[in-house]
């Protein structure tokens, strides 16, 4: 991750990325050779589990990125205080908690696929709306409402698909599946955040420097 974020020294970044990649390969090889591995990577032999890991990692990276971008937008573009940025994030956090509970009940009735499809529609529509709606004059209520829709989509993707993925594993592998899911999510969230911040920092200078309009264009490019 440090290598991906090291834009000032391309040689150092390349070396760090390759070192990390080789270390990951060695870790995987060692886990397959151990009688009692730290992580049972044979869980990826389940197609459903492997697919869900990819999808939930992407959605979690979007979650972390969205929670990071919006406060930056509120404070650097609309020039509000950190208190106002917190007011925008708070309803979304409540929505995530409530919808996670609701999605659990809907999962038993409708299954994970339908919920995930609806979640992706909500997630994509809210993300695209940010591109066209965000401006220096956008009301805080509108920004908060879009973020609530965004978080509702995240809840309808992560919980049902994670449950479906763990249900596809043998009982003795469920603990490993949970550990792998949490580990890969954190890694994906970090990588996603690095790329999103890179979009903002690169688009803003191209738009004319460190000013609210330039930062707004960076935020729109990130979304």
**Chain segment 26-37, per-residue pLDDT in tens:** 888 888 888 778
Q: What is the dihedral of CA 57, 59, 65, 68, to 10 degrees?
A: -110
* Token duo for residue 115: 């919920």
Q: What is the pLDDT of residues 40-74, one digit of tens each?
A: 888 888 888 888 888 888 888 888 888 888 888 88
- Residue 168 sits at φ, ψ, to 5 deg, of -80, -10
pLDDT of residue 207: 47
Q: What is the C-alpha separation between 21 and 191, in angstroms, rounded?
A: 14
Contact 66/134 with Cβ under 8 angstroms? Answer: no
pTM for the complete prediction?
0.78
Looking at every residue in the chain, the average pLDDT score rounds to 81
∠ CA 159-53-119, nearest 5°, is 40
Q: What is the pLDDT of residues 69-87, one digit of tens each?
A: 888 888 888 888 888 888 8
The domain segmentation of the chain, as residue ranges, is: 1-38, 43-222
pLDDT of residue 1: 62
Mean pLDDT on 108-115 = 81
Q: What is the C-alpha separation between 29 and 31, in angstroms, rounded?
A: 6
pLDDT of residue 155: 87
Domain at 43-222: CATH code: 1.20.1250.20
Res. 202 pLDDT band, cuts 50 70 90: low
């Amino acid at each position: 991750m440090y290598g991906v974020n090291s834009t000032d020294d391309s040689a150092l970044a390349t070396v760090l990325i390759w070192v990390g990649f080789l270390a990951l390969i060695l870790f995987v090889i060692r886990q397959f050779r151990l009688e009692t591995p730290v992580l049972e990577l044979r869980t990826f032999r389940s197609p459903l589990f492997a697919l869900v890991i990819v999808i939930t990692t992407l959605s979690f990276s979007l979650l972390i990125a969205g929670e990071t971008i919006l406060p930056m937008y509120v404070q650097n573009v609309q020039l509000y205080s950190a208190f106002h940025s917190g007011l925008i994030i708070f309803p979304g956090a409540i929505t995530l908690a409530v919808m996670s509970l609701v999605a659990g009940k809907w999962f038993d009735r409708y299954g994970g696929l339908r919920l995930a499809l609806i979640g992706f529609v909500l997630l994509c529509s809210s993300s695209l709306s940010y591109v066209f709606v965000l401006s220096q004059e956008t009301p805080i209520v509108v920004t908060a409402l879009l973020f609530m829709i965004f978080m509702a989509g995240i809840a309808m993707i992560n919980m049902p698909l994670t449950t479906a993925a763990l249900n596809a594993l043998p009982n003795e592998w469920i603990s490993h599946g949970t550990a792998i899911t949490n580990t890969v999510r954190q890694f994906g969230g970090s990588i996603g955040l690095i790329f999103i911040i890179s979009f903002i920092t690169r688009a803003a200078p191209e738009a004319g420097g460190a000013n609210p309009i330039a930062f707004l264009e960076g935020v729109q490019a990130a979304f």
